[in-house]
Amino acid sequence: MRAADGGMSRHDPTVTATPPVVLRDLHVVGRTGHVDGPVDVRLQEGRITAVGPRVAGDGSRDVDMAGVFAMAGVVDCHTHLAVSSTDVVEILATPASVRTLQAADAARRTVRAGVTFARDAGGADAGLRAGLVRGLAEGPSLQISVVMISRTGGHADGHLPELDLELAADGRIPPPGGPGHLVDSVDDVRRVVRQVLRAGGEWIKLCATGEIASDFDDPLAPELSEAELSTAVVEAAVRGRRVMVHAYGGEGLDNALAAGVASIEHGTLLTERQARRMARQGTFLVPTMSVLEGAVQSAREGQMPDSHRAKTLAIAPRLAEVLPIASSAGVAVALGSDAAEHSAHGRNLAEIAALRRGGLPAHDCLRAATIEGARLLGIDDTRGAIEPGMIADLALLDEDPSDCLCFDRDDVVTGVIQNGRWVVRHPRA
């Protein structure tokens, strides 16, 4: 993200020199979300240096890409790379070293799916980010929120009363010296936000409402006050950082908007009034439709506890309503997979198809996956579009992505370029 002085975060990886190459006759998803071309795209030293018909080679290696489609590398604004299971017993029984390797595997699967930049919504720490920057594992460029913060007894409180064991929302025991995750006052919020910033967080993630996949909390019940959320926004802003908020709707979502947060995560119970306010303020919606679709399917098949099932089925009709409400109001929508299971990492682009089924116009689905996500993360000056001067992050497909439903297939991306280098080499290359 942009630092306070408007520059890129120091954690944005250095682009290394690569030999020039021209990808000839590509069909390209443009900044508008529509497919243009065919055009030539020249890559050199990790950047896109030219886009257009009959681009001069200037000693570059030419690759015939006739019939191939390219979009900017996907930006996933809500994933959990360090979470491979939501089963608390499994998590507690898994050694920390294995969890680290699982996170590296999740990062590898994610970038190979076409996600070249991601915002982690809780779980990934500065060590994982640093390891990816150093090339110790394949993965997307990463911004982190470190932990998910809520009130005691709220969505991010994984406390086990039988053992009196404090757990974070992802089922892990908070490490000694790590940021806290529970707040019950303005002073608590100030302290924990500062701890997250000290731990290297680029984002502050808070829970303003409850959740559907839980025993006791309610997706419409507010969990943090406007004053608490405003404190987080102010403390983050001092360090040039911003706030993302888990909120389904109701008073909690109103509190988040009044506080001036940057993005609403989920927002499934969003009203027209709230959508208009989001549009006025420039607040993004990250609707995580694919994981909600999966939850509704599991509820209908009886594959979740009754306490979860009733709440999940209650929101099911809203999956066809929230995106038309947001789109009609002019709310900016960014893609977020909410991947938090081993099987979900690497299926991030299924969110594009879910956005389309939810009623978002196809070109806006492709924009949500690229330039809109880049705008939310403050990287749209270097990523999110296939244009001269941009970092060379591309996802290649052998079919037209315009209907968006092709992204339900795991094999739709046939080539990935990150920072000008092949991560998944297309057969033509």
**Which domains are present in the chain?**
21-72+386-424 (2.30.40.10), 74-377 (3.20.20.140)
Write the DSSP assignment of 24-87 as a string of letters: EEEEEE-TTS-EEEEEEEEEETTEEEEEETT---TTPEEEE-TT-EEEEPEEEEEE-TT-----
Mean predicted confidence (pLDDT) in 341-360 = 97
**Mean pLDDT in residue range 251-273:** 98
Across 378-387, average pLDDT: 98
Per-residue model confidence as pLDDT tens digits over 64-96: 999 999 999 999 999 999 999 888 888 888 898
Residue-wise pLDDT tens digits, 159-185? 777 777 787 777 677 776 779 899 999
HSE (side-chain half, CA atoms, 13 Å) at 37: 27
Using a pLDDT cut of 70, give the percent of the chain over it.
Answer: 95
Q: What is the pLDDT of residues 187-222, one digit of tens each?
A: 999 999 999 999 999 999 999 999 887 777 789 999
Q: Residue 169: its pLDDT value, please?
A: 73
- Are 385 and 10 within 8 A, CB to CB? no
Q: What is the C-alpha separation between 59 and 336, in angstroms, rounded? A: 40
Residue entry with tokens 């604004």: 77
Rounded Cα distance between 250 and 414, Å, is: 42
For the chain, the first-to-last Cα distance in angstroms comes to: 32
Backbone angles phi, psi at 206, to 5 degrees: -125, 155
Amino acid found at 315: I
What's the pLDDT score for residue 363?
98
**Whole-angstrom distance, CA of residue 388 vs CA of residue 380:** 13
Beta strands in 252-374 (DSSP E): 263-266, 284-286
Round to whole Å and give the CA distance between 59 and 409. 37
- Say which residues have a Cβ less than 8 Å from residue 317's Cβ, sequence separation at least 6: none
The more confidently predicted of residues 153 and 4 is 153
Q: Tabulate helix, strand, coil % of the chain (nearest 5).
A: 30, 20, 45
Sign of the four-CA dihedral 407, 47, 333, 250:
positive
DSSP structural state of residue 303: -
User: What integer pLDDT is reported at residue 133 of this predicted model?
Assistant: 96
Task: Return the higher-pLDDT residue of 326 and 14.
Answer: 326
Q: Which helix (H) or strand (E) holds 356?
A: helix 350-357
Which DSSP letter does residue 185 get?
S
Q: Give the residue from 86, 156, 132, 1 showing the smallest Cα distance to 423.
A: 132
Sheet holding 284-286, edge to edge: 148-149, 203-207, 242-247, 263-266, 284-286
d(CA 278, CA 256): 10
Task: Tell me, rounded to whole angstroms, the distance of Cα 87 from its chain centroid.
Answer: 22
Cα–Cα distance, 373 to 334 (Å, whole number): 5
Query: Mind listing the pLDDT tens digit for each residue in 26-61?
Result: 999 999 999 998 999 999 999 999 999 988 877 779
Question: Residues 4-18: pLDDT tens digits?
Answer: 333 334 444 455 556
Other beta carbons less than 10 A from residue 162's beta carbon: 5
Instruction: Please spell the DSSP secondary structure of 82-128, one letter per residue.
Output: T-----HHHHHHS-HHHHHHHHHHHHHHHHHTTEEEEEE-SS--HHH
For 148, the token pair is 């998910």
pLDDT recorded at residue 22: 94
Report residue 369 as tokens: 């996956």
Please compute the mean of the pLDDT values over residues 284-299 and round it to a whole number: 95
Give residue 7's pLDDT.
Answer: 35
Do the Cβ atoms of 207 and 167 come closer than 8 Å?
Answer: no
pLDDT tens digits, residue range 101-139?
999 999 999 999 999 999 999 999 999 999 999 999 999
Distance between CA 110 and CA 8 in Å, rounded?
23
**DSSP for 205-254, written as a single string:** EEESB--SSSSS--TTSB-S-HHHHHHHHHHHHHTT-EEEEEE-SHHHHH
pLDDT in the model for residue 83? 93
Q: What percentage of the chain reaches a pLDDT higher than 90? A: 78
